[in-house]
Amino acid sequence: MFFEIKEKDLLARIGKLQTKSGTIETPLLLPVINPSIQVVPPKKIHEVLGFEALITNAYILKKRFQDEPTKRGLHDFLDFKGVIMTDSGAYQILTHGTVQTTPTEIVEYQERIETDIATILDWPTGWKASRGHAERTVKKTIDRGRELFKSMTRKDILWVGPVQGGHRLDLIATCATEMRKLPFHIHALGSPTEVMQNYRFDMLVDMIFAAKTSLPHERPLHLFGAGHPFMFSLAVALGCDLFDSAAYALYAREDRYMTASGTRRLATLDYFPCPCPKCSQTSPKTVKEISSKDRQIFLAEHNLYVCQAELKQIKQATKEGRLWEHLQKQAHSHPALLQATRRLRRYEEYVEKHSPTAKRSGIFFFDSNGLARPEIVRHRKKIGERYSPPREAEILLLAPQTRTRLLGRSRKSKFSETIGDLMKAYEQRVHLCTYAAPFGVVPIELEEIYPLSQCEAALPLEHETTRYVSRQLVAYISTTNYKTVVLLNDEENWERTILNACKSTCNRKGIAFKHINLKDRPSRRISSRLEQILKR
């Protein structure tokens, strides 16, 4: 077992990936190393900055250094004791149109230099490719994937099978379906760089899901070129386990300072908003005055620290079951990211299927974006497909969960006690359910089951969430056989919407509907009115 999943949340996994040079923990960023112009030495990236793995380009090594990495071994050549992944030169095909090597040659070279994780020479689709060209890149990639297992000689290298197709989702699915049939250890989504550079994160969501849903769930997924920390949480939540990028160095050359929520120009900074070892010991004014080379080193190291810190935050959130909350926070870093998280509604059932059913903590519901989170989707499906109310129940009593939780351990109000007494007196005829965002209908016998009573929601509800709760109530009333529905309601704006929806559904179904207004009425009067209804 070369990949072992330790923790899960959404589609994110904290995993252990075993290689011949050691075991690395995912999700993980692999900084891109170019030995010709490397600003931060690989040894420092590993021993000081704490990165367990890096990636370098086998084609560039072969072209510029020829047999030197072969003779010395790649780890010694780079002076790096961690895990090394090599790309094949496919990106050079995208930028230059061709490379001076063959798929078989680059496979043999990667085996000779002792890399830990290797990539076939696939054919990138790119952003502007025509349909015909995209189809050819998919075919070439699949063919080269098949050729690998005829030419490879080593069994101790993990091989990456890229998935091409560009932004054409059907081609991504076709490529992924064929690549999954081959015994690759890792898969990678190809051609996402231009999509991310154009801030089309909504399209990236579609591309990742097109690949993810067609690939074996147990194999790690690598996202090429994803190197900015503000989008890590989105990629990890979608099931990406590995990333690589040279952005930390490229941004440093342009005096660009990464933060977890975006990028700043060094020239605009009066203060460093970062407590990393680099920023905590100096000021922007001082850094602006040092030499260009030293400034580049400073920014590159800071950028790596920020990337590392964000991945640790994501891992901790995953372990605590709070990745959704972290994702929502990061989504507000940029409108394009928020738009991308809204796109998750299209894939909510797939995410729910693969997300844990129980977690270590409750959930926070902020707005309608949260309606796509797995806990809410799962509850809706179970109520609609698996739940049946008590057979003897003739009256459905709906109480707002935000106003009063009637039968729980901590509910000690006089009104709660009175309602509890009434429920005992009429327990054969009356079935109590609460209603609230984000779950809609919650039968009282399920109320203590995770996460129905481990949820905090922001009030007042916005329109879309109110409509969602109303739809769940309408669906529940429409598919059950109560003779009377009694709604306890505050007549706040959002509860009026629920009142009208329930009343219309009962009228349409031809069953009795009763409404008790809780607003500004003493508990004794409410209890008396409720008892009159229940006696009938």
Q: Would you name the residues annotated as active-site residues?
A: 87
Specify which residues 22 forms β-bridges with.
19
Cα angle 350-351-357, degrees, rounded to a multiple of 5: 115
Structure tokens at 161: 């099978």
What is the residue-wise DSSP string for 497-512? HHHHHHHHHHHHHT-E
Residue with tokens 């929806």: 501
Tell me the pairing of strands 117-119 and 158-163. Answer: parallel
Burial 482-519 (b: 16+ CB within 10 A, else e): bebbbbbbbebebbebbbebbeebbeeeebebbebebe
Find all residues with CB under 8 Å of 199, minimum gap 6, and list them: 334, 336
SS (H, E, C) 148-173: HHHHCCCCCCEEEEEECCCCCHHHHH
Query: Quick one: 414 exposed, middle or buried, by C-beta within 10 A (0-12, 13-18, 19+)?
Result: exposed
Give SS3 for 259: strand
DSSP code string of 319-342: HHT-HHHHHHHHHTT-HHHHHHHH
Grouping H, G, I as helix, E, B as strand and the rest as coil, residue 481 is coil
**Residue 360 in contact with residue 450, Cβ under 8 Å?**
no
Tokens of residue 111, six digits: 């085996």
* Backbone phi, psi, residue 248, to 5°: -55, -40
Bridge-partner residues for 30, per DSSP? 244
For residues 345 and 251, the answer to whether their CB atoms sit within 8 Å is no
Residue 44 structure tokens:
């420092």
Give the contacts of 421 (CB within 8 A, at least 6 positions apart): none
> Pairing between strand 221-223 and 158-163?
unpaired
Distance CA 122, CA 479 (A): 53
What's the Rg (C-alpha) of the chain? 28
Residues 6+ apart with CB under 8 A from 236: 12, 27, 314, 318, 323
Give the span between the Cα atoms of 165 and 176, in whole angstroms: 9
